[in-house]
Structure 1
């Protein structure tokens, strides 16, 4: 049976009402999309823009190359003087004028119109001889051959690559507009995280940085571990300076789980409990105008909740695509994937070879080793009860080289 569409009353105490109804994964995505527009634009140097998303189109202000230039190492010649050159009829260079050795990037010497590659010459008794004819313009890059002035060299929204930065620098472009990286405050919640057991926040920091955000995970001496107390949690939620807040832990209904209750009292608890295995206790709300995602404290469940929901907010705020940041491959199930139906399922899978995959453990029981051993995941939609063996499924691969 599909989960009901009604979101629970956010004014009721979460631990009292329990998960009376769970939002669907699509509802959670819609909530995220409505509250995570791209951040503002800032200007940085081309090399500092690598990995960021361009905030506007960038056009070349000049031609590249700016003038005719030699494209490879060799000798500058007049093409007409090379006609008929071969191994059997070598033509000496430098008889009708000075020998003109050139390197890639040099200006084309006056009076020449081609470049004879070094491999098409030989040295015989101190004489350089050409053993192949060259056509006019051969080995020469003309002005604007690479990029013409006015050409869009970086489109708005594109994630800037090192090659893009190099091209911008070659064109003399000193600055580029990029989307500001969102600041994501990461707060571990729980009584034991101060004993060196905090696995969630370093993992989340790495994921946030991967998705284009700035992880605000302050050293322990500057931010003491937040306990489960409502007052401490409300204080963290009220602190300004973040574009997104991730509370890791305290999302459930136990006696010490106070994160959802703190969010309700500090702002709004809009969704608590989603039909997603294994991150079903995830919560969403607002505090002081800042979106907040409450993730389960178990590292494996925390990971699934971030990848399925919270990461979407970071990527959108950074100016990127909301979808999963993984290559996707269509592979065949070597064993049945079991899912309850009515729930989305973040099913970890591993490759079996020859285009096959198999599930690792149960979707509802998430161990950290199952995440570490997984090559990717299959997101089973709520309207399916898994996939029988031999089914073609879309697999999101953690390693870009996997499955190829």
Structure 2
């Protein structure tokens, strides 16, 4: 799968295009998820859970109040109302949210429904057993599990972890190195790659900016991949066919295998490689092309490194047909339209269309598209989990 070295002055990517499937196979070959690390809860949000949390005890341990008020036995309140209050000569126990329920009590009345006068306590409402309280074990049962390995940690997962008294969680968080080629300071596309990687649960160590010359790019690659500094490297820009586009020329001599020119529209000028056993992706500097390549190449790579469970497709019929010329995999942006998906951009994206899109799908190079009404498997453009 190794391409021949470039002759002096040659332009990379001038040969036949590599299929999207072949490019992905090169990136994913023998690639294993990164190791497990334990992150403090405040740093775990969005990372991919590495293990479930078996419960050693029921929670809560005992019945507890879920509202502020007074604890009663529901049977003692039968018939109570503001017109016919039930009198008690022993003062009821006040409880607050999270307090254990007093023995013999199985409900909580709001303080506004309890009247004190002349040494007599009057309850002015009924309550059913369990009202205003949570039974022991009602939140979490012993032997059950919390969090789902392979899924990104949500605020609910962190709430459960705190409820269990945990201070850290086992996660997988790939480290992404980013090199922005041809800029004195990082441009919007490189910043997008950093934001995209973070939104997918990865960690980025900042963006390195280099000039568009082979020596500068080569030095940045060596530094990024040295000393196990990242699990995957993304270069942004300099992937075209122009004489000054030297990104591929810089990494090709270092690569065990590489491909430049992917049969993907948009994103044709993207490149992929393996250097020192680690995956490398070179994305076009144009935002629309970079986003297409990020969704089809970078996202599957991050999923593998993070040990992420397969994503759930959104299967709905198309509100309009999708025509494809064939030969190239084409990314299609979709907008939810009732119980259907409406294509809003194919093969080329504006920022406006990206802002309106809810999902995307990839039309394989072997397909000529889909008729209106065809049920397709689409995936959210960006996901919370």
What's the TM-score once normalised by structure 1's chain length?
Answer: 0.80
Aligned partner of 1:69 in structure 2 is 64
Q: 1:43 offset after TM fit, Å? A: 1.4
1:201 aligns with 2:190: yes
1:338 aligns with 2:323: yes
Where in structure 1 are there 5+ consecutive unaligned residues? 1-6
- Using the alignment, how far apart are the partners of 1:308 and 1:163 within structure 2? 29
Q: Describe the superposition over 1:236-294 as per-residue Cα deviations: whole angstroms up to 9, x where unpaired.
A: 22222121111112223322222222222112343222211111222111223321111
Q: 1:212 offset after TM fit, Å? A: 1.3
Where in structure 2 are there 5+ consecutive unaligned residues? none
1:174 aligns with 2:167: yes
1:211 aligns with 2:213: no
Q: 1:340 offset after TM fit, Å? A: 1.2
Q: Describe the superposition over 1:22-81 as per-residue Cα deviations: whole angstroms up to 9, x where unpaired.
A: 332222223333254321111122332221122222122333112232333343234453
- Using the alignment, how far apart are the partners of 2:186 and 2:166 within structure 1? 47
RMSD: 3.2
1:381 aligns with 2:381: no
- Using the alignment, how far apart are the partners of 2:91 and 2:352 within structure 1? 71
Aligned partner of 2:244 in structure 1 is 256
For 1:230-245, list aligned pairs within 5 A: 231-239=215-223, 240=226, 241-245=229-233
1:37 aligns with 2:32: yes
Aligned partner (choices 82, 90, 98) of residue 91 of structure 2: 98
Change (3 A) 1:302 1:84: closer
Secondary structure of the equivalent of 1:163? helix
Change (3 A) 1:224 1:171: closer
Figure out how many residues of one structure are paired with residues of the other and give that number: 377
The answer (yes or no) to whether the contact 2:210–2:220 under 8 Å persists in 1 is no
Secondary structure of the equivalent of 1:217? strand
Secondary structure of the equivalent of 2:369? coil
Q: 1:392 offset after TM fit, Å? A: 4.5
Q: Describe the superposition over 1:94-151 as per-residue Cα deviations: whole angstroms up to 9, x where unpaired.
A: x2x22333333222224x3322523894649776433555566655433323223343
Aligned partner of 1:23 in structure 2 is 18
Q: Describe the superposition over 1:155-182 as per-residue Cα deviations: whole angstroms up to 9, x where unpaired.
A: 3323222122122222222332111x22
Change (3 A) 1:98 1:368: closer
Secondary structure of the equivalent of 1:106? coil
Change (3 A) 1:276 1:57: same
Q: 1:393 offset after TM fit, Å? A: 4.0
What's the TM-score once normalised by structure 2's chain length?
Answer: 0.84
1:287 aligns with 2:248: no
- Using the alignment, how far apart are the partners of 1:155 and 1:388 within structure 2? 37
Secondary structure of the equivalent of 2:49? coil
Change (3 A) 1:35 1:291: farther
More strand by share: 2
Change (3 A) 1:366 1:76: closer
The answer (yes or no) to whether the contact 1:244–1:292 under 8 Å persists in 2 is yes
